[in-house]
Amino acid sequence: MTDRTMAAPAERKRGEGVKLVYDILRDDIIDLVLPPGSPIDEIQLAERLSMSRTPIREALVRLASEGLVTTLPNRSTVVSNIDFLNLHTFFDAITLMYRVTTRLAAEFHVPADLDVIRARQAAFAGAVEAHDALAMIATNRDFHAAIAEAGRNPYYTGLFCRLLDEGRRILRLYYSSFEDRLPQRYVAEHEEMIAAIAARDVEGADRLAKAHADQIVQQIQQLIARDRRQTLAL
Amino acid sequence: MTDRTMAAPAERKRGEGVKLVYDILRDDIIDLVLPPGSPIDEIQLAERLSMSRTPIREALVRLASEGLVTTLPNRSTVVSNIDFLNLHTFFDAITLMYRVTTRLAAEFHVPADLDVIRARQAAFAGAVEAHDALAMIATNRDFHAAIAEAGRNPYYTGLFCRLLDEGRRILRLYYSSFEDRLPQRYVAEHEEMIAAIAARDVEGADRLAKAHADQIVQQIQQLIARDRRQTLAL
DNA sequence: TGTATTTTATTTGTCGACAAGAAAAATCGC
DNA sequence: GCGATTTTTCTTGTCGACAAATAAAATACA
């Protein structure tokens, strides 16, 4: 559990309970504080958060709808596993979403959107500069989510954010310290995407987004391949 | 409320409560028995279904995650409105999903998938033959959902089904009786799509799916445009 | 009569308790 | 000692109650 759990019993108004639990659990799942497959005990959680089980259950329903936890009747809720056997579906979907959201941002953004996107990029660049892999993973997600929001199609934004979060979980499996070497070229690629979006170059944005997605997919595949080779070497 | 509400107090095992409420409400929302904007009263619902509010609240959380209801803290949950001002986002997303799911079905289907798809098409054709608009709307959704399942990408299937259900709600606004004249050409288009999928003609499937989506979009636009003209004539 | 304020009624969010179902531990039989 | 069965413990699903927040109704005032 995050430190936030200890702070949770602080003042909260009626009606804020479910969201508080949801936020805490969601962060913990994505940051692998709660690793895939781990059971979620309602009673323990209720004790730790000093609240009854009801809002916790409601938060779990919401998390289940987002695929972050898996529930079956009369059984413990568990943190959803990452489906490594079917990563191609994830790669396919996230590549498509990178493309359509970036296209739409080039087409529909307003000036304030660019401010947000640029602020997110600055945070991402800062994380890369600081060799902070965990912050990089989080700020990368936020950067692309801002692009999706600028594209103004809630269906795509919803799916894309879900996929980005799943990507965070996958990456978090492999980046577990502050010492990892982070690819600087992602910062440059983000800048190019921002320029294409600002210039309303829809096709350019699409092309850059696809190339960027391909890089990410390749990175994940290499991380997994490296992992598998270690296993076979045993 | 549907007739099913009256039958609901029949035997149900522990753990089946939430799903029962979810299914009932979902059907009622999509069939516009509960029209957009209408409030959902937990207490009334609990009385009618002879159960406590807890499972009802959990079902509502799930429905909220799927966009079918809208909740705010300390306020009545309401059935989500259809966002007519931003239908272009819906059209964009559903067209893309028609295409990618049909492509993937052409690529990844197995023989049993075709059996399901064909059965769904037979049901659809039967509904068209019977001039049963409501059944047509429902079976059309099921037909395309089966194609999406055959494509085996859960991310697309999830989004597509959500969009298809939203399409059902929109169409249900305009088809309210059994007397409407139904376009026979949709049956033929479905058959062509099945043939392309069976032949594993990915590009053909894509082309047919896009043309089909364009037809649906156009139909909805005409329905909406027709409605507006009547208003101005007063 | 219309508006502002107060009171009352209703609904929602959460609580703690009960009991069903599942998991773990203990016991039994070979 | 191992597997099957029984008992105990634990967790989940739901219950009904309480109280906060909201909505509706009533009252007061100009």
Contact: B155, A159; criterion CB under 8 Å: yes
Instruction: Report yes or no: B81 at the A interface, CB cutoff 8 Å.
Output: no
Chain C: nucleotides below 7 Å from protein CB are 11-17, 20-23
Q: Is the pLDDT of residue B2 over 90?
A: no
On the question of pLDDT at B231 being above 80, the answer is no
**What DSSP line would sit under A9-24, residue for residue?**
TS---TT-HHHHHHHH
- Segment B220-234 shows an average pLDDT of 65
Task: Give B148-201 pLDDT, tens digit per residue.
Answer: 999 999 999 999 999 999 999 998 888 765 455 667 788 999 999 999 999 999
Report the residue from A54, A65, A159 with minimal CB separation from B62.
Answer: A65
Across B24-34, average pLDDT: 95
B interface mutation test: which of A95, A155, A202 has the most B CBs within 10 A?
A: A155
- pLDDT tens for residues A163-186? 999 999 998 888 765 455 667 888
Residue B9: pLDDT band (50, 70, 90) is: very low
Residue B93 and residue A96 in contact, taking contact as beta carbons nearer than 8 Å: no
Element containing residue A31 per DSSP (H, E): none
pLDDT band at B12 (very low <50, low <70, confident <90, very high): confident
Statement: the CB of B53 is under 7 Å from strand C: yes
Q: What is the pLDDT of residue A229?
A: 54
Q: Average of pLDDT values for A128-140?
A: 90
CA B14 to chain CA centroid, nearest Å: 29
Cβ–Cβ under 8 Å, residues B15 and A74: yes
Find the Cα–Cα–Cα–Cα dihedral A197, A202, A205, A206, rounded to 10°. 150
Q: Does B44 lie at the interface with A, CB-CB under 8 angstroms?
A: no
Q: In this prediction, what percent of chain A has a pLDDT beyond 90?
A: 75
Q: Mean pLDDT across chain B, nearest whole number?
A: 89
- pLDDT tops 90 at residue B104: yes
Whether the per-residue pLDDT at A37 is higher than 50: the answer is: yes
By the 8 A CB rule, do A17 and A45 touch?
no
Mean pLDDT of B99-105: 97
Closest Cα of chain A to B11: distance in Å? 16
* Residue A6, pLDDT above cutoff 60: no
Question: Where do the domains of chain B lie, and which CATH numbers do they carry?
Answer: 3-79 (1.10.10.10), 84-232 (1.20.120.530)
Nearest to A154 among B14, B62, B89 (CB): B89
The answer to whether the beta carbons of residues A100 and B96 sit under 8 Å apart is yes
Of A61, A93, A156, the CB nearest to B61: A61
Residue A5 pLDDT: 47
Q: What would the mean pLDDT of B101-109 be, rounded to a whole number?
A: 97
Q: Which residue of A has its CA nearest to B153?
A: A89
ipTM of the complex: 0.90
Whether CB of A58 is under 7 Å from strand C: the answer is yes
Looking at per-residue pLDDT, the higher value among B42 and B222 belongs to B42
Which of these ranges, A146-155, B47-56, B164-173, B223-232, has the smallest mean pLDDT?
B223-232
Model confidence at A150: pLDDT above 70: yes
- Asked if the C-beta of B163 comes within 8 angstroms of chain A's C-beta atoms, the answer is yes
CB proximity B123 to A under 8 Å: no
With an 8 Å Cβ cutoff, is B152 touching chain A?
Answer: yes
